[in-house]
Structure 1
Amino acid sequence: MEDNEFQQQELFETEKYISDLVEEKTKKRTSTFNIIFLSSFFTSTIVLSFLFFFGVFDEEEIVLPDPVTITETIKEKELVMPRVDSTEVVSIAEIATKTIVQLQVGERNQDDEFISIGGGSGVVIDRRGLIITNHHVIEDASDVRVIFEDGRMYEASIVGSDRLTDIGVVKIKNENLTPINFGNSEGVFVGDLAVAIGHPLTLGAAPTVTTGVISALDRRLDVGSEGMNNAVTLFGLIQTDAPITRGSSGGALLNQKGELIGITTAIATADVGAEGLGFAVPINLALGIVEDILDDGKVLHAFLGILGAQYFEVAEDGARIFSGVLIEELYGPANDIYAIGKAGALPGDVIKKINDIDISTLDQLITILRNKRAGDAITVEILRSGNTITLDFALDLRPSDV
Structure 2
Amino acid sequence: MNRLLITAVLIFSVINIAGCDQSEKTPEALMHTPPNDGTAETTSDITLSRQNAIVVAAEEVGKSVVTVKTVKTVRRKVFDPFSDFFSDFFREFYWSPPLKEYKQEVPGLGSGFIISDDGYILTAEHVVHGVDSVKVQFSDGSEIPAEFIGSDYYADVAVLKVNKDNLPPARLGNSDSVIVGEWSIAIGHPFAEAVGSPQPSVTVGVISAKGRTMRRVDNTIRISENLIQTDAAINPGNSGGPLVNANGEVIGINTAIITTSGGSLGIGFAVPINTARKVARYIIENHDKRKSWLGVYLIPVTESIAYVMEFKNEGGLLIAEVVVDSPAYNAGLRSGDVIVSFDGKKVHKTEEFDRVVFSHRAGDEVELTIRRAGKKMTGKIRLGSPPEGEAGR
Q: TM-score range by the shorter chain?
A: 0.5 to 0.7
8 Å CA contact 1:100, 1:207 repeated in 2 = yes
Partner residue of 1:270? 260
Partner residue of 1:91? 56
Q: Does 1:213 align with 2:178?
A: no
CA distance in 1, matches of 2:189, 2:110: 7
Partner residue of 1:174? 164
Q: Deviations over 1:337-369 (max 9, x none)?
A: 9xxx99xxxxxxxxxxxxxxxxxxxxxxxxxx9
Partner residue of 1:357? none
8 Å CA contact 2:172, 2:250 repeated in 1 = yes
**Aligned Cα RMSD in Å?**
3.9
SS state at 1:186 partner: helix
Q: Does 1:253 align with 2:243?
A: yes
SS state at 1:276 partner: coil
8 Å CA contact 1:307, 1:330 repeated in 2 = no
Q: Deviations over 1:206-243 (max 9, x none)?
A: 00011110000001111242xx2x22110000000000
State how many pairs are aligned: 245
Q: Comparing both chains, which one has the higher relative contact order based on Cα–Cα distances under 8 Å and sequence gaps of 6 or more?
A: 2
The alpha-carbon deviation at position 142 of structure 1 amounts to 1.3
The alpha-carbon deviation at position 274 of structure 1 amounts to 3.9
Q: Quick one: which of 215, 222, 225 aligns to 1:222?
A: 215
The alpha-carbon deviation at position 91 of structure 1 amounts to 1.1
Displaced runs of 4 or more, over 6 A: 298-302, 304-310, 334-337, 398-402
The alpha-carbon deviation at position 399 of structure 1 amounts to 8.7
Q: Does 1:129 align with 2:119?
A: yes
| Structure 1: segments with no counterpart, 5+ residues | 1-80, 109-114, 311-326, 343-368, 376-397
Q: Deviations over 1:270-314 (max 9, x none)?
A: 36964210100000000111111112228998967889978xxxx
Partner residue of 2:77? none
Partner residue of 1:139? 129
| Structure 2: segments with no counterpart, 5+ residues | 1-45, 74-104, 291-295, 317-337, 354-367, 373-393
8 Å CA contact 1:301, 1:374 repeated in 2 = no
Partner residue of 1:43? none
The alpha-carbon deviation at position 172 of structure 1 amounts to 0.6
* Rg comparison, structure with higher value: 1
Q: Quick one: which of 272, 281, 290 aligns to 2:271?
A: 281
8 Å CA contact 1:308, 1:328 repeated in 2 = no
8 Å CA contact 1:218, 1:237 repeated in 2 = yes
Residues 85, 400 of structure 1: CA spacing in aligned structure 2 closer, same or farther, 3 A cutoff?
A: farther
The alpha-carbon deviation at position 251 of structure 1 amounts to 0.3
Q: Does 1:235 align with 2:228?
A: no
8 Å CA contact 2:147, 2:160 repeated in 1 = yes
Instruction: State the AA in 2 paired with 1:279.
Output: F
Aligned positions of 1:225-374 closer than 5 A = 225=218, 228=219, 230-270=220-260, 274-297=264-287, 330-332=314-316, 374=352
CA distance in 2, matches of 1:336, 1:116: 37
CA distance in 1, matches of 2:204, 2:269: 13
8 Å CA contact 2:234, 2:264 repeated in 1 = no
The alpha-carbon deviation at position 86 of structure 1 amounts to 5.6
SS state at 2:267 partner: strand
CA distance in 2, matches of 1:205, 1:106: 19
CA distance in 1, matches of 2:304, 2:227: 22
Partner residue of 1:188? 178
SS state at 1:285 partner: helix
TM-score (norm. length: structure 2): 0.54
Partner residue of 1:100? 65
CA distance in 2, matches of 1:302, 1:154: 32
CA distance in 2, matches of 1:92, 1:335: 46
8 Å CA contact 1:133, 1:251 repeated in 2 = yes
Q: Deviations over 1:18-54 (max 9, x none)?
A: xxxxxxxxxxxxxxxxxxxxxxxxxxxxxxxxxxxxx
Q: Quick one: which of 191, 196, 199 aligns to 1:201?
A: 191
CA distance in 2, matches of 1:128, 1:148: 14
TM-score (norm. length: structure 1): 0.53
Residues 249, 334 of structure 1: CA spacing in aligned structure 2 closer, same or farther, 3 A cutoff?
A: closer
Residues 240, 401 of structure 1: CA spacing in aligned structure 2 closer, same or farther, 3 A cutoff?
A: farther
CA distance in 2, matches of 1:169, 1:132: 5
* Percent of residue pairs bearing the same amino acid type: 35
The alpha-carbon deviation at position 166 of structure 1 amounts to 0.7
Instruction: State the AA in 1 paired with 2:135.
Output: R
